[in-house]
């Protein structure tokens, strides 16, 4: 794989470590659209278009620097995959999702998005977030920006219910009122323990959602968010019927160490796409 950074586009030649569909469909992002070989991706107030050809992928955006980092192009995924395919459990999952990359998304957007994700399904999560963007975010012409914290501050519980948040509407309202720009900035520079403590202190955020925010928004790769799918993964691999998610988190984090976040995404995508049950 060779990444060519041009003035008006990024070209990924021979993309063995990047697949658009896999990267977008593995549950880490909700603001995107794929039709055939063309995809549109939003993050914050930014927008990119991706074209997949037989021999290359081209990325076009008015902010290529942002999306170069967003798609994690500084990292060599071939090394990660080589290490993780040594694991017998993970081998088929890495083969299947060979082109997954973990996005460097905006922590504030991840906080809002993953509060919505709790006990929810991806289709509904996408719809709710689209609703928030189109009703409360800035109209950018071809798309809507993610609503800023300031914009969300004036959104009511009733608005959140209209967005389909259900019982999460009150949690969202309270967390939005609690959040400040300073606290969000501060979150990027404090220790892991302080990040986790702060996130869990917010309404609607427990251990799993906090780990998703750390993984997708704050660059932490040694975390292993355990949702219903990962619960199935664990029970399938260990032939057990465990429901203690803290225990599952501990064991999987211990097994995959500083590559936990990658392992988690390969597992999640493989099991969910193939509807593998216990």
Say how far apart CA 227 and CA 229 lie, in whole Å.
5
Judged by CB under 7 A, does residue 54 bind DNA?
Answer: no
Q: Burial level of 154, CB count in 10 A (0-12/13-18/19+)?
A: exposed
> Please, what is the minimum distance in Å from the beta carbon of residue 210 to DNA?
6
Task: Choose between 112 and 230: whose C-beta lies nearer to DNA.
Answer: 230
Say how far apart CA 154 and CA 176 lie, in whole Å.
9
Active-site choice (95, 208, 221, 232): 208
Tokens describing residue 235: 């029970």
Stretch that binds DNA, among 52-60, 79-87, 117-125, 149-157 (CB under 7 A): 117-125
Q: How many residues does the chain have?
A: 278
Interface pattern 252-271 for DNA (x via CB under 7 A):
------------xx--x---
> Please, what is the minimum distance in Å from the beta carbon of residue 241 to DNA?
13
Say how far apart CA 220 and CA 274 lie, in whole Å.
27
Q: Is 44 a catalytic residue?
A: no
Task: Choose between 64 and 199: whose C-beta lies nearer to DNA.
Answer: 199
Judged by CB under 7 A, does residue 207 bind DNA?
Answer: yes
Measured in degrees and rounded to the nearest 5, phi and psi for residue 78 equal: -65, -35
Three-state DSSP class for 10?
A: strand
Judged by CB under 7 A, does residue 91 bind DNA?
Answer: no
Give the Å distances, CA to CA, from 126 to 44, 93, 268. 15, 25, 18
Tokens describing residue 209: 């959602």
Residue selected from 80, 205, 218, 252 as contacting DNA according to rule CB under 7 A:
205
Judged by CB under 7 A, does residue 227 bind DNA?
Answer: yes
> Please, what is the minimum distance in Å from the beta carbon of residue 211 to DNA?
8
Judged by CB under 7 A, does residue 110 bind DNA?
Answer: no
Judged by CB under 7 A, does residue 229 bind DNA?
Answer: yes
Q: How many Cα atoms within 13 Å fall on the side-chain side of residue 240?
A: 9
Judged by CB under 7 A, does residue 242 bind DNA?
Answer: no
Residue selected from 46, 81, 101, 208 as contacting DNA according to rule CB under 7 A:
208
Task: Choose between 53 and 167: whose C-beta lies nearer to DNA.
Answer: 167
Three-state DSSP class for 219?
A: coil
Say how far apart CA 200 and CA 186 lie, in whole Å.
15
Active site residues: 208
Instruction: Give residues in contact with DNA (CB under 7 A).
Output: 26-28, 117-125, 161, 164, 166-167, 171, 200, 202-210, 212, 225-230, 232, 244, 264-265, 268, 272
């Amino acid at each position: 794989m060779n990444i060519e950074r041009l003035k008006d586009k990024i070209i990924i030649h021979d993309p063995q470590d990047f697949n658009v569909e896999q990267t977008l469909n593995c549950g880490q992002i909700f603001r995107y659209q794929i039709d055939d070989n063309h995809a549109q991706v939003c993050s914050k107030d930014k927008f990119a278009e991706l074209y997949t050809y037989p021999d290359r992928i081209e990325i076009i955006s008015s902010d290529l620097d942002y999306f170069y980092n967003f798609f994690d192009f500084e990292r060599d995924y071939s090394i990660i995959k080589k290490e993780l395919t040594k694991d017998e459990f993970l081998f088929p999952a890495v083969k299947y999702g060979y082109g997954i990359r973990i996005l460097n998304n905006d922590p504030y957007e991840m906080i809002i998005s993953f509060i919505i994700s709790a006990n929810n399904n991806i289709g509904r999560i996408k719809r709710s977030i689209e609703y928030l963007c189109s009703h409360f975010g800035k109209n950018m012409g071809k798309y809507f920006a993610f609503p800023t914290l300031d914009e969300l501050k004036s959104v009511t519980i009733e608005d959140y219910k209209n967005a389909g948040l259900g019982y999460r509407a009150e949690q969202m309202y309270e967390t939005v009122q609690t959040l400040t720009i300073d606290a969000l900035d501060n979150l990027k520079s404090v220790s892991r323990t302080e990040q986790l403590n702060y996130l869990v202190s917010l309404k609607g955020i427990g251990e799993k959602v906090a780990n998703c925010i750390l993984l997708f928004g704050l660059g932490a790769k040694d975390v292993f968010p355990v949702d219903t799918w990962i619960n199935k993964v664990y029970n399938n691999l260990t032939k057990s019927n465990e429901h203690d998610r803290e225990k599952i988190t501990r064991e999987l984090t211990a097994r995959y160490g500083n590559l936990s976040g990658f392992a988690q995404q390969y597992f999640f995508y493989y099991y969910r796409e193939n509807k593998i049950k216990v």
